[in-house]
């Protein structure tokens, strides 16, 4: 049973430390979780202080997320942390399943060390010839079977290390030819084609605890973006079979329209469980928190189930895992 029903939000902070105003705002808004970006990262000690302060602000062990996919999209970077190959490059190397489990497990160790226990990965979109460059090399393969195998291995490695994976971007971003940070992509494939190809990795991984929507218009399904489409969210639940906690992609992306509060309200009305707002802008977050309200009973149930998957990891020999991964990748972790 849920003991505390939090805000239906995941929020970012502005910088390397929390000021008194941010601390007070987070205590009042009580977001379910937080998300960090490069602007929030200087070094390990600073990050441990920040993650500790975020949890202190809400008075509980809230999940703190980051995007640590590897390649272009990783917020923890050298010299303090490992540099990772782009996922699609690693997928082309020998024994990708083992190498992606090792990658997830080592990443989890790095993240947990600084108080982060959620990773917005794996990307379960399928890379194709039309996939926009902002996304393509972040994918884990070029067909449903490869994406499913590599995403499962990544998720299992993260979970074994006590970090919650977030599969994205539901129900599939691979056909999109536009960057949803800047525009609303339109995908014109039929429902049948989407189900047989794009949806398949998400269907195969529907037991994972968390998923993230994509801001994409599927013209055969609904004129609204998937994040704000009750029909498409219902499809994620029923046809894909996902009963985990469903978060939106960042509300600040230009694929969506309206005020931040309107974007939050429309996303939750469509059936998303929590809304994600990333840029740390206080005025925008106040709008989002006000319109998002608290977790619904169904969302609270899913949130509790996700938290139950956040285990304390067993101790492992990271040096040995590093050496094994280096061997599988032909001599280097680095991109």
What is the rounded distance in angstroms from the CA atom of residue 85 to the CA atom of residue 6?
36
The answer to whether the beta carbons of residues 222 and 234 sit under 8 Å apart is no
Question: Any idea which residues carry the catalytic annotation?
Answer: 181, 249
Compute the radius of gyration of the chain from its Cα atoms.
19
Tokens of 149: 């195998």
DSSP 3-state of 220 = coil
Burial of 305 (0-12, 13-18, 19+ CB in 10 A): middle
Alpha helices by DSSP H, the chain: 20-29, 44-58, 87-91, 96-113, 133-136, 144-160, 191-193, 200-204, 230-238, 260-270, 282-292, 297-308, 318-328
The answer to whether the beta carbons of residues 295 and 7 sit under 8 Å apart is yes
DSSP 3-state of 327 = helix
Total residues found in the chain within this entry: 335
């Amino acid at each position: 049973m849920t003991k505390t029903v939090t805000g239906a939000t995941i929020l970012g902070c502005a910088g390397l430390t929390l000021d008194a105003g941010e601390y007070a705002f987070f205590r009042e808004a009580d977001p379910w979780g937080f998300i960090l970006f490069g602007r929030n990262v200087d070094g390990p000690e600073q990050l441990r202080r920040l993650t500790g302060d975020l949890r202190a602000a809400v008075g509980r062990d809230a999940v703190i997320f980051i995007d640590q996919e590897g390649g272009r999209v990783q917020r923890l970077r050298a010299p303090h942390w490992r540099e990772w190959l782009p996922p699609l490059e690693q997928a082309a190397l020998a024994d990708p399943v083992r190498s992606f489990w090792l990658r997830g497990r080592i990443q989890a160790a790095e993240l947990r060390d600084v108080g982060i226990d959620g990773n917005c990965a794996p990307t379960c979109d399928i890379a194709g010839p039309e996939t926009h460059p902002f996304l393509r090399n972040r994918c884990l393969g070029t067909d449903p079977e490869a994406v499913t195998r590599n995403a499962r291995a990544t998720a299992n490695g993260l979970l074994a290390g006590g970090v919650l994976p977030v599969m994205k971007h539901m129900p599939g971003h691979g056909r999109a030819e536009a960057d949803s940070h800047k525009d609303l992509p339109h995908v014109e494939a039929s429902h049948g084609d989407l189900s047989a190809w794009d949806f398949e990795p998400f269907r195969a991984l529907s037991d994972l605890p968390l998923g993230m929507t994509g801001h994409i218009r599927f013209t055969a399904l609904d004129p609204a973006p998937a994040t704000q489409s009750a029909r498409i969210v219902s499809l994620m639940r029923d046809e894909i079979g996902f009963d985990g906690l469903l978060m939106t992609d960042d509300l600040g992306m230009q694929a969506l329209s309206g005020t931040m509060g309107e974007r939050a309200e429309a996303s939750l009305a469509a059936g998303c469980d929590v809304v994600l707002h990333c840029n740390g802008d206080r005025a925008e977050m106040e709008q989002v928190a006000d319109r998002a309200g608290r977790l619904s009973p169904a969302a609270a149930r899913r949130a509790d189930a996700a938290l139950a998957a956040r285990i304390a990891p067993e101790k492992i020999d990271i040096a040995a895992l590093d050496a094994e991964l280096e061997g599988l990748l032909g001599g280097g972790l680095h991109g």
